[in-house]
Amino acid sequence: MNPRITAAVALRVLTQLRRDHRTLAMLVVLPCALLALLWWMFQGAGFGPGFEALGPPLLALIPFIVMFLVTSVTTLRERTSGTLERLLAMPMGKGDFLLGYALAFGLMAAIQSVFAVAVSVWLLGMDVAGPVWALLVVAVLDAVLGTALGLFVSAFAQTEFQAVQFMPALVIPQILLCGLFIARDAMPAVLHGISNVLPLSYAVDAMQQVASSVETGPAWADLAVVVAWIAVCLGLGAATLRRRSA
Amino acid sequence: MMNNSVEVAGLVVERGGTRILHGLDFVVPQGEVTGLLGPSGCGKTTLMRSVVGVQQIASGSVTVLSRPAGSRPLRDRVGYVTQAASVYDDLTVTENLTFFARVLGAPAARVEECRSLVGLDDHRQQVVRRLSGGERSRVSLAVALLANPPVLVLDEPTVGLDPVLRRDLWQTFHRLAADGAAVLVSSHVMDEASRCDRLLLMREGRLIADDTPDRLLVRTGAADIEGAFLAIVAGDRGPAAAEVRP
């Protein structure tokens, strides 16, 4: 690995994103709009606490989902256009490639989360017991988790249609099992066991912990699991980057 | 003594149980433009990928600059242009070149030099998506030239180009060869053969001739390389004869 090459990849991905104005606007505006929709729905129904309960998990889910989709499609494009093969025939470490992407999308997620958190906390009045910056840290790591998972699964898609299908295959089950619908310990033992392994469970737990308690220790423990999953996904992603193909 | 930059012996490539290359032996000497000619689908691209080291091979050896093809020290010493332009559609010409120059560790001045070399100075700030097919493949060619590689592998770099530009590019290839590079250029257009110092004629995964254009014409008594190709194929008594070297 080489910092010059990692930085070159990150800069290049950011330049590509900068040129795509519509994607940029959607990255920033959509999460805010969705949170406002959630708030409006509960307020209008006279059930304010609903927003307090579901807002934080949504802050964790959105960057994860968005970065998962964006990354898997971008990486797939890189594989099919031949640029990935070209890069791997150059002095490009696999780690440079993966980390460059993770850095670029992590930065995008930070920008996205600044807006989403600001809107939630200051405009929609979400109660956050812990420090607001901790929300941001959790959101950025969730986004990097989405990026790492997207990098990995893009290896198993031959077309963009397939890449998008990995969202219902890999992301929706995690949303169902992350404790958003039923508390995780109330689930059947098998599902509880599975949810104990899935990274999104920890991402959502961390966000809820920061939002509901001044005690941030458990949130960091949850985040440690998320970080471990990021490392696993990047490692698996590196294994799918082949310098030689059939 | 002739200095061979690329030496290939007994190269066999199989894909999905089908044999694509049937035990090829050839060299690419330094300081010459070697043309690889044959109909599309005959295995030219597979052969070139093997030289670059991105192709899984079944048996045989491919040695580039005295090292196994694709080995780490070769990664900035072999310039490779794929048939489809392997560049980023959503970046400008200059942004593409700057990115690849950073990856290769090539000096920034090379970006302008290579852009001029392929005649794209008028398009420096243009997004690659808006360029014509020929212009895009020239961006791809410029990327391959960035690191001043001593070995150039060019897969149909002149397809679809304006005749004037095609002549200019062939002059560029010869200039690079005169400066000491080994240049391997493929084409399915037989009339490009006369522009090469040496020719490898290929058909159905086998090399059927390895000679200078002039000697090929004399040997077969044909008026042009297409005629020579036909004469050689007609002279074969089945697949085994195809492996008899001139």
pLDDT tier for residue A154 given thresholds of 50, 70 and 90: confident
pTM for this model (two decimals): 0.88
Does the pLDDT value for residue B239 go beyond 50?
Answer: no
Buried b (16+ CB within 10 A) or exposed e, B8-24: beebbbeeeeeebbbbb
d(CA A212, CA A53): 9
Q: What share of chain B has pLDDT > 90, as a percent?
A: 72
Half-sphere exposure of B14 (CA within 13 A, CB side): 7
Q: Return the pLDDT at B243.
A: 45
Running DSSP on this structure, what letter comes out for residue A123? I
Does the pLDDT value for residue B242 go beyond 50?
Answer: no
| Choice among A6-15, A208-217, B46-55 with the minimum mean pLDDT | A208-217
Q: Return the pLDDT at B236.
A: 66
d(CA B149, CA B145): 7
Could you tell me where the DSSP H helices lie in chain B? Answer: 44-52, 93-104, 109-117, 133-145, 163-178, 213-220, 225-235
Distance, in angstroms, between A167 CA and closest chain B CA?
A: 25
A-B contacts (CB, under 8 Å): 79
Distance, in angstroms, between A24 CA and closest chain B CA?
A: 14
> Mean pLDDT across the stretch B193-197?
90
pLDDT tier for residue B246 given thresholds of 50, 70 and 90: very low
Do residues A79 and A162 lie in contact, with contact meaning Cβ atoms separated by under 8 Å?
Answer: no
Distance, in angstroms, between B228 CA and closest chain A CA?
A: 33
CB contacts under 8 A, B 102-121 vs A, are 102-105
d(CA B37, CA A125): 70
Q: Return the pLDDT at B3.
A: 86
> Mean pLDDT across the stretch A191-199?
96
3-state secondary structure of A188: coil
In chain B, what residues touch A5 (CB-CB under 8 Å)? 102-103
Distance, in angstroms, between B154 CA and closest chain A CA?
A: 13
In chain A, what residues touch B86 (CB-CB under 8 Å)? 81-83, 85-86
Does the pLDDT value for residue B192 go beyond 90?
Answer: no
Mean pLDDT rounded to a whole number for chain B: 90
Q: Are strands B151-155 and B182-187 parallel, antiparallel or unpaired?
A: parallel
Best mutation target among A2, A15, A73 (most B Cβ atoms within 10 Å) is: A15
Q: Are strands B78-81 and B4-15 parallel, antiparallel or unpaired?
A: unpaired
pLDDT tier for residue A194 given thresholds of 50, 70 and 90: very high
In chain B, what residues touch A88 (CB-CB under 8 Å)? 54
- Closest residue in A to B18 (Cα) is A246
pLDDT digits (tens, 9 = 90+) for B91-125: 999 999 999 999 999 999 999 999 998 889 999 99
Of the partner residues A15, A244, A246, the one whose CB lies closest to the CB of residue B70: A244
Of the partner residues B75, B89, B102, the one whose CB lies closest to the CB of residue A4: B102
Does the pLDDT value for residue B29 go beyond 90?
Answer: yes
If interface means Cβ-Cβ distance under 8 Å, which residues of chain A face chain B?
4-5, 7-9, 11-12, 15-16, 19-20, 81-83, 85-92, 243-246
pLDDT digits (tens, 9 = 90+) for A69-109: 999 998 899 988 889 999 999 999 999 999 999 999 999 98
pLDDT digits (tens, 9 = 90+) for A43-67: 999 887 889 889 999 999 998 999 9
